Structure 1
Amino acid sequence: MTTFTAEHRPAAGKPLVAFMSALFAGGWIWDRPFAALAERGWPVLRTNEPICALDSRVAGSIERLGDALMESCDAVGADRVVICANSLGGLVAIDLAGRHPDRIGAIVVSGAPGLTPDPDVGLNIDRRADVRPTGPEFRDRMLAALFHGTPLFGDEQVEEVGRLLQTGPAMVAMARSIRATRTYKVDPAMDKVACPSLYVWGRHDRMTPIDPWLEIVPRHAGTEFVTVEDCGHIPMVEAAEEYNAHLLRFLDRVAG
């Protein structure tokens, strides 16, 4: 049994593109890239559970999260893998590329933490009594942190996140996950990445601001940085067509 459950659409002749779910959101944040690649004949896989729904021992470790993602890839018989990840998953992608250069053919990273302080999304992760993951204030803070323009998450999706975060295990997992990002050494980890790497960032990302990444990414070989204008933390949702265009161009160049 794998740690994640996953949706898989097989195809022959190309490496598997694995989409990793985010800290709060499940695999549904990848709806449009997942469909676009499948239509173009790429084998694709996406994990279903948000990271904070996992056991806290896994959620609180960048390395264990990577191992869990690779379990899902192994389960469908994938040898060579391209990883697409957002937010916390971005650090997982970087870490896996450094640890498994024989298997990770490329990575696509958006909105990764680790270079700036924790964002304000209406939750205090260090004092559980301060957490109120319900109501309009929580909704407004979360959506403002995620989106630059019109919020594209519906009430059902926000409520799903809120219900999850009201459970004790999810709160512990979330706290341990975010603490792991505080201690992760991004620059040395990127030094170990040998595969082609695409970084796609929203210009107005409040959760994980763009400027430190604009500075650090070009210092590393094999990297490409794309800025998505008028976009926040999740370009695969807020600017899906542009994100998909950059993703397909990159994949055709490095893995097609």
Structure 2
Amino acid sequence: MQFKRKGNGTPIVFLPGLFAGGWVWDAVASRCLEEGFSTITFDDPIPVIFGNHFRQATKLLDMVLEECEEKPFLIGNSLGALISLDYALQNPTRIQGLVMSGAPGLVELETVPLRQLHTGEIQYAQAFINKVIYDKSKIPQGGAEELAGLFRDRGVFNNIARWYSLSRKYDIPEALQQLKALPIHLIWGEHDDITPAQPWLDLAGQFENIQTSVILECGHSPMFELPQSFLEHLLPTLHRCRQSQTRLLFTEPA
């Protein structure tokens, strides 16, 4: 089983990042369960589960949505956010809303060169993690070792390199232009030194369907660094969209 589902309410699909597995969503997903949603999560990061192309990711997400009794929300971090956007673009009527955080595709800042990360040496993995997480006290124990192991795996590394290439070619403005009827919420860390918030905020200002939130004193993965702050922005969006969908179901002609 490549994904796990908990609960029985309106489903939320939480997509992991390019390097971090579904554990970055643990605190947020647990609270969403308490709020009456069901959650769908993945254990491993994108290059392990989703292969190396949007087509493979779409195929897996199709399988996930087949198990959903109602339209889910897609919520993604980092590359998972871009995959969520691409899936929504291909299937705009199959989801209720989209929440993105730290997505690539507009501006990506230089971090640690891939050639160094590919060595699998701990020092380079640690340097990368230091770029990702603003509050260094939140760096998970063993995080550098886990990341270095990903890069030492030839197949996984090739998938990572492929995703790097695809994300840099993605036409974000065109995708958002085609999704003007879908509720979208961008929740970014103030100090995202991987995929900075400002280009996304500037672009979002052109669209009435896009809400934006910036979490202060936080890096690339606010759902992990400051889950409570992330939830304060996320939950009102989820409840509002769910209520709108319920009203629509009761007003549609039989």
The two structures have a TM-score, normalised by structure 2, of 0.89
Cα distance in 2 between the residues matched to 1:151 and 1:91 = 28
Q: Is 1:185 aligned to 2:171, yes or no?
A: yes
| Superposed displacement of residue 59, structure 1 | 3.3
| Superposed displacement of residue 153, structure 1 | 2.8
Q: Which digits, 9 at most, give the CA deviation of each residue in 1:7-31, with x for residues without a partner?
A: 111314xx31000111111110100
Cα distance in 2 between the residues matched to 1:190 and 1:246 = 21
Residue in 2 aligned with 1:59? 51
AA at the equivalent of 1:184: Y
| Superposed displacement of residue 60, structure 1 | 2.8
AA at the equivalent of 1:150: K
Q: Is 1:167 aligned to 2:164, yes or no?
A: no
Residue in 2 aligned with 1:90? 81
Q: Secondary structure at the match of 1:68?
A: helix
Q: Is 1:11 aligned to 2:8, yes or no?
A: yes
Q: Is 1:42 aligned to 2:37, yes or no?
A: yes
Q: Secondary structure at the match of 1:41?
A: coil
Pairwise CA RMSD: 1.8
Alignment of 1:120-135 (within 5 A): 120=111, 122-124=112-114, 127=115, 131-135=118-122
Number of aligned residue pairs: 242
| Superposed displacement of residue 184, structure 1 | 0.7
Pair 1:77–1:202, CA change in 2 (3 A): closer
Pair 1:151–1:173, CA change in 2 (3 A): farther
Q: Is 1:213 aligned to 2:208, yes or no?
A: no
Q: Is the 8 A contact 1:83 1:107 kept in 2?
A: yes
Pair 1:230–1:192, CA change in 2 (3 A): same
The two structures have a TM-score, normalised by structure 1, of 0.88
Cα distance in 2 between the residues matched to 1:18 and 1:8 = 9
Q: Is the 8 A contact 2:125 2:144 kept in 1?
A: no
The percentage of aligned residue pairs carrying the same residue is: 26
AA at the equivalent of 1:67: K
Pair 1:117–1:111, CA change in 2 (3 A): closer
Cα distance in 2 between the residues matched to 1:67 and 1:225 = 29
Q: Is 1:71 aligned to 2:63, yes or no?
A: yes
Alignment of 1:14-29 (within 5 A): 15-29=10-24
5+ unaligned residues in a row in structure 2: which ranges?
244-254
Cα distance in 1 between the residues matched to 2:117 and 2:241 = 46
Q: Is the 8 A contact 1:96 1:104 kept in 2?
A: no
AA at the equivalent of 1:111: G
Q: Is 1:157 aligned to 2:143, yes or no?
A: yes
Q: Secondary structure at the match of 1:255?
A: helix
AA at the equivalent of 2:11: L
Q: Which digits, 9 at most, give the CA deviation of each residue in 1:202-237, with x for residues without a partner?
A: 111000011111111121231100011111100001
Q: Is the 8 A contact 1:21 1:29 kept in 2?
A: yes
Q: Is the 8 A contact 2:96 2:183 kept in 1?
A: yes
